[in-house]
Amino acid sequence: MTKYSFPSGKFNLKLRTAVVTGVTRSGKTTLGNLLATHRNVEHADEPWLPNTLPVMVQLKMVDKKTGKEMFAAHLNELANDMILLRQANFRPNDLSSIWAQKTQKEIFFRLTKLQSRSDVRDFIKKNKPLFLLTLNGEPAFNLPALFDFLPEGKIVYVVRRGLDVARQIKEKRWFSDEQLARPPHAQIFRSATRRGKVFYVPCRIAPADAKKFLGYSEYERGLFYWCVLVENAAKSLENLRKKKQCLLVKFEELLENPRKIMKQASSFLDLKPSAITETALRKIKNYRALSGQAPKLSGELLARTKALYKYLGYGWD
């Protein structure tokens, strides 16, 4: 045992928090950016440490007590920087730009009037903001782990048809041999050898499945990854939804009826729209759901995908 710790989160972290998560390319960033336009929302799009720490604890890379303390302490620091706009994205053409999430009046108020931690504490006390984290698929693998880190938080879990997710992963080439041999992203991988060459397989792929994963095509790797993450999340979804801690959102329904889905999500998180929310909603028409037939799949992968489609309420053509 060590006497060293991260006590600041325990003493200072009294924040209203929520998470938007789901498998990669599921539309979680789109939904997170929409929710970020609501009043009194502080949005962080895939902050690295909150993305990584719950996974490291699950994998026993970091002990649970230290991981939770680090998470709370970091979230406290992140909240301070977010309100002071120290980590804001000011690039006007980016989807997560602060200009698309806050009015100019609020941005300039923060830049000129808020200067210190004391100002941040007063701001939080007065406005009671929601700190919204958009996290990628790794923490979504086991939803109870997120609640262990954020026991009072809420989770919006975004799903999308696995065939569309696989198609986009292939387009991004994220599971190509080149990227698996030299991963460009700071995520957690496990090494595996195939035909004498070392590859780095996503940590959520079980060691026993690494050879199978590497033997698949790029499309099949994306679909297999979707199956693994959704299967494990499904074990937790029903219980969490019964406790009213988790809202399931289908990306396709968000595209078809954005106002309906936004109303459900904002009610779940107790949010009110701002002057720029309507503008963000109108931009949803620029998104299009993908379509097209899947390539021929192995019997096992096809069966797993069809079972998950049935569970999620998707039809299979």
Domain boundaries, the chain: 8-289+302-312
pLDDT-based confidence at 143, cuts 50/70/90?
confident
Angstrom CA distances, 273 to 88, 155, 265, 267, stand at 20, 19, 11, 10
Q: Average model confidence (pLDDT) for the chain? A: 90
Per the structure block, which two tokens stand in for 199?
Answer: 């590859």
Taking the C-alpha atoms of residue 74 and residue 145, their distance in angstroms, rounded to an integer, is 17
pLDDT at 244: 81
pLDDT-based confidence at 293, cuts 50/70/90?
low
User: pTM for this one?
Assistant: 0.91
pLDDT at 125: 92
Task: Kindly report, residue by residue over 113-124, the tens digit of the pLDDT.
Answer: 999 999 999 999
Task: Kindly report, residue by residue over 5-23, the tens digit of the pLDDT.
Answer: 888 877 765 788 999 999 8
Taking the C-alpha atoms of residue 29 and residue 245, their distance in angstroms, rounded to an integer, is 20
The dihedral through the CA atoms of 146, 150, 155, 160 has a sign that is negative
Per the structure block, which two tokens stand in for 94?
Answer: 């980016």
Task: Kindly report, residue by residue over 226-266, the tens digit of the pLDDT.
Answer: 999 999 888 788 777 777 888 999 999 999 999 999 999 99
Q: Which residues pair with 189 in a beta bridge?
A: 202
Angstrom CA distances, 186 to 48, 51, 183, 200, stand at 8, 11, 8, 12
Taking the C-alpha atoms of residue 67 and residue 58, their distance in angstroms, rounded to an integer, is 10
Per the structure block, which two tokens stand in for 86?
Answer: 């120290």
Angstrom CA distances, 45 to 22, 35, 128, 292, stand at 13, 12, 20, 30
Yes or no: domain 8-289+302-312 corresponds to CATH 1.20.1440: no
pLDDT at 80: 93
